[in-house]
């Protein structure tokens, strides 16, 4: 059964200069159960303050029906020149800094406040939530939650909070008239590259962080969800952001790669796959911040209690399968102490997973793995001695999801921990499947060192959870692990909203952050030291050659 909102984004293209409050109602008329795509949505590029079409367009299939419902720019390398020249025109000192155009800090604070006000309107919130659902199908609460996190971010940086991001420090000098001042300094021309799974939140938070610190960003998003970012930009313009402040290029990764090579941005933020991240690091000579693959672990401690079982089971289900597992913070592997297994947590997880269905999009299309690829990976894991299928492992049925995308039941494969740690098994067991899939293993008190060995051998360190109220156990695991965003306590999870805390990996000097003032300063500014030395001039008697 398809969700009731399935319809087409109607291309009643309005003038780009119309206020967003008039524009969005014309952009996305959602007709329940209407799947006719006679009027596909049309996405445009933005460069140097002007919306542009391209010579070629790409038609994209509806993730739920397979019918073409969106036309996006297929920007060719031959059309990259305007984006390259736009970035090259930005000085290294940025669009603004502590000495140049400081009024822009105030302007961007005002823009943030206005955007937050717009996003508080029920009709605007619903518009973005439905738009997210159309291109990256997830349940309405999950899609609306993305809007809420984004809105709170804009609320956090309204008013004077943007200028406070650029706060520095000073130290006394060696003599009268000398002080040293540490300043946060922009990079100038920068790039923001974001994935499909959070088409509003990630672009919004990283774009605004880049702008706040004085940079001019070029945004590149996954073509499949590009309409969400386009609509965000139109909202920003409506709320007072100058149109030349951000460029927006929709097209193949090869075109974006060519732009980066030719324009040589001073910094690039990439969120996405590890393979592309490493290529970018090489192409930019290391001028990158990365939030790449997230094979995220959760450890259930020894202090299992019957009264905690319903909540912990529910959180495991949410972490592994909300958004069909397409979160970089999704629970990829569960280390369950045998006390939790004896209580029945695996049976509870199976029961909760069985309630997920297409009708409410609590499970849905997987946009980066095919059904065949996910089932093939499942079968490979089941060849490991002692492995077993806990639940799932089947393709979804009675749907019209196109074959280019994946559609499987929420799946969990159990692998004995000693088998998992074997060199020939570990790389397979820790392969990130960006879909509703997880590996589960069990350990005893004597096998805690094996758990820590597994955590040490993992190569990606984004999020993690230690579910326990045993402070000694928590400190032992935390003290011997790395992940940059780690939750601990009986309510610990792997997925969480980054508007109220740092979100990003650890253990890699290229690791990016998102959401907080500290993250913005780290990714989008560098340190500059300015030493004031105004005198008085010393007497000539002490001016000796040394």
Q: Where are the domains of the chain?
A: 41-292+516-526, 297-488
Mean pLDDT of the chain: 91
Q: Could you count the other beta carbons within 10 Å of the beta carbon of residue 292? A: 25
Half-sphere exposure of 164 (CA within 13 A, CB side): 10
Q: Domain 297-488: give its CATH code.
A: 3.40.309.10
536-540 mean pLDDT: 83
For residue 46, report the phi and psi dihedrals to the nearest 5 degrees.
Answer: -135, 125
* Three-state DSSP string of 110-175: HHHHHHHHHHCCHHHHHHHHHHHHHHCCCCHHHHHHHHHHHHHHHHHCCCCHHHHHCCCEEEECCC
Structure tokens at 410: 């929420």
Span 10-20, average pLDDT = 36
Does pLDDT of 364 surpass 90?
yes
d(CA 363, CA 335): 23
- In the predicted structure, residue 18 carries a pLDDT above the cut 50: no
Neighbour tally for 282: CB within 10 Å = 9
Kindly name the residue from 23, 239, 323, 328 that is annotated as catalytic. 328
pLDDT of residue 33 exceeding 90: no
Contact between 200 and 146 under an 8 Å Cβ cutoff? The reply is yes
Q: Is 171 within 8 Å of 234 (Cβ atoms)? A: no
* Of 210, 166, 220, 213, nearest in space to 190 by CA: 210
CA 134 – CA 504 distance, rounded (Å): 27
77: which DSSP letter?
Answer: G
pLDDT for residue 354 is more than 80: yes
pLDDT at 7 over 70: no
Q: Which residue has the higher pLDDT, 513 or 498?
A: 513
The one catalytic residue in 118, 146, 230, 291 is 291
Fold of 41-292+516-526: Aldehyde Dehydrogenase; Chain A, domain 1 (3.40.605)
Q: Higher confidence at residue 37 or residue 472?
A: 472
The model's pLDDT over 226-241, given as tens digits with 9 standing for 90+, comes to 999 999 999 999 999 9
Q: Does the pLDDT value for residue 219 go beyond 60?
A: yes
Tokens in use for 479?
Answer: 């003290």
In angstroms, the CA 437 to CA 333 distance is: 9
Residue with tokens 């899609």: 143
Q: CB count, 10 Å around CB of 261?
A: 12
Q: Which residue has the tokens 């199976």?
A: 350
Q: How far is CA 318 from CA 324, 352, 410, in A?
A: 10, 9, 11
- What Å distances lie between residue 279 and 254, 427, 449, CA to CA? 12, 21, 35
291 is known as an active-site residue:
yes
163 and 103 in contact (C-beta within 8 Å)?
Answer: no
Q: What is the pTM of this model?
A: 0.92
456 SS3 class = helix
Name residue, tokens 């609509």.
Answer: 231
Flag whether pLDDT at 525 surpasses 60.
yes
DSSP state, 491?
A: T
Percent of the chain with pLDDT over 90: 83
Cβ–Cβ under 8 Å, residues 142 and 323:
yes
Copy the structure tokens of residue 322. Answer: 């909300």
> CA nearest 24: which of 38, 13, 33, 35?
13
Which letter does DSSP use for residue 255 in this model? H
Calculate mean pLDDT across residues 106-128: 94
Q: Please give the average per-residue pLDDT across 123-139, as a whole number.
A: 90
Q: What's the token pair of residue 220?
A: 């590149």
Is 328 an active-site residue?
yes
Q: What residues does 56 pair with on adjacent strands?
A: none
Which parts of 270-337 fold into alpha helices (H)? 274-283, 309-321
What pLDDT, on a 0 to 100 scale, did the predictor assign at position 39? 65
- The pLDDT of residue 42: 85
Query: Binning pLDDT at 50, 70 and 90, where does residue 58 land?
Result: very high
Task: Provide the token pair at 253.
Answer: 């990764």
Percent of the chain whose pLDDT exceeds 70: 92
pLDDT of residue 17: 32
Q: How many CB atoms lie within 10 A of CB 338?
A: 15
Provide the pLDDT for residue 4: 46
What is the per-residue pLDDT across 422-464, written as a single tens digit (0 to 9) for each?
999 999 999 999 999 999 999 999 999 999 999 999 998 999 9
How many angstroms separate the CA atoms of 226 and 229, rounded? Answer: 5
Say if residue 536 is preceded by a cis peptide, omega within 30 of 0. yes
Please give the average per-residue pLDDT across 281-301, as a whole number: 92
d(CA 145, CA 148): 5
pLDDT tens for 137-190 read 999 999 999 999 999 999 999 999 999 999 999 999 999 999 999 999 999 999
């Amino acid at each position: 059964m398809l969700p009731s909102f399935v319809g087409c984004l109607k291309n009643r293209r309005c003038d780009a200069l119309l206020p967003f409050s008039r524009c969005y109602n014309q952009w996305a008329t959602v007709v329940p159960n209407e799947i006719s795509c006679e009027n596909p949505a049309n996405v445009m590029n933005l460069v140097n303050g002007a919306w542009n079409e391209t010579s070629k367009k790409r038609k994209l299939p509806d993730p739920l029906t397979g019918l073409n419902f969106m036309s996006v720019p297929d920007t060719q390398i031959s059309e990259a020149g305007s984006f390259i020249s736009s970035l090259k025109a930005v000085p290294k000192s940025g669009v603004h800094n502590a000495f140049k155009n400081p009024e822009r800090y105030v302007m961007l604070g005002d823009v943030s406040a206005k955007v937050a006000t717009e996003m508080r309107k029920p009709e605007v919130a619903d518009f973005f939530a439905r738009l997210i659902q159309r291109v990256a199908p997830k349940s309405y609460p999950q899609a609306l939650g993305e809007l809420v996190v984004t809105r709170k971010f804009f609320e956090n940086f309204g008013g004077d909070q943007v200028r406070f991001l650029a706060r520095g420090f000073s130290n006394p000098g060696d003599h009268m008239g000398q002080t040293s001042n540490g300043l946060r300094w922009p990079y100038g021309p920068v790039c923001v590259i974001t994935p499909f799974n959070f088409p509003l939140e990630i672009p919004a938070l990283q774009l605004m962080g880049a702008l706040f610190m004085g940079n001019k960003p070029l945004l590149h998003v996954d073509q499949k969800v590009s309409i969400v970012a386009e609509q965000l930009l139109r909202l920003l313009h409506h709320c007072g952001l100058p149109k030349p402040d951000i460029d927006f290029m929709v097209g193949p990764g090869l075109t974006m790669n060519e732009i980066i090579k030719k324009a040589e941005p001073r910094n690039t933020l990439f969120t996405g796959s590890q393979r592309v991240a490493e290529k970018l690091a090489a192409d930019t000579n290391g001028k990158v911040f990365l939030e790449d693959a997230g094979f995220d672990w959760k450890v259930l401690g020894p202090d299992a209690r019957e009264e905690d079982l319903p909540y912990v089971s529910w959180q495991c289900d949410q972490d592994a399968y909300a958004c069909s597992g397409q979160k970089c913070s999704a629970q990829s592997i569960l280390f369950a102490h045998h006390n939790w297994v004896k209580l029945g947590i695996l049976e509870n997880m199976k029961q909760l997973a069985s309630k997920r269905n297409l009708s409410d999009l609590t499970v849905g299309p997987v946009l980066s793995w095919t059904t065949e690829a996910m089932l093939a990976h499942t079968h490979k894991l089941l060849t490991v001695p002692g492995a077993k299928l806990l639940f799932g492992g089947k393709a979804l049925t009675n749907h019209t999801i196109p074959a280019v995308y994946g559609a499987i039941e929420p799946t969990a494969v159990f692998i004995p921990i000693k088998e998992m740690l074997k060199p020939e098994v570990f790389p397979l067991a820790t392969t990130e499947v960006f879909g509703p899939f997880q590996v589960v293993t069990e350990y005893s008190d004597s096998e805690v060192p094996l758990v820590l060995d597994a955590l040490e051998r993992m190569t990606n360190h984004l999020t993690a959870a230690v579910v326990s109220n045993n402070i000694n156990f928590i400190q032992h695991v935390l003290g011997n692990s790395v992940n940059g965003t780690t939750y601990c306590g009986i309510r610990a999870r792997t997925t969480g909203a980054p508007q109220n805390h740092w979100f990003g990996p650890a253990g890699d000097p290229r690791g990016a952050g998102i959401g907080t003032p500290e993250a913005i300063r780290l990714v989008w500014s560098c340190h500059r030291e300015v030493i004031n030395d105004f005198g008085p001039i010393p007497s000539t008697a002490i001016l000796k050659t040394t």
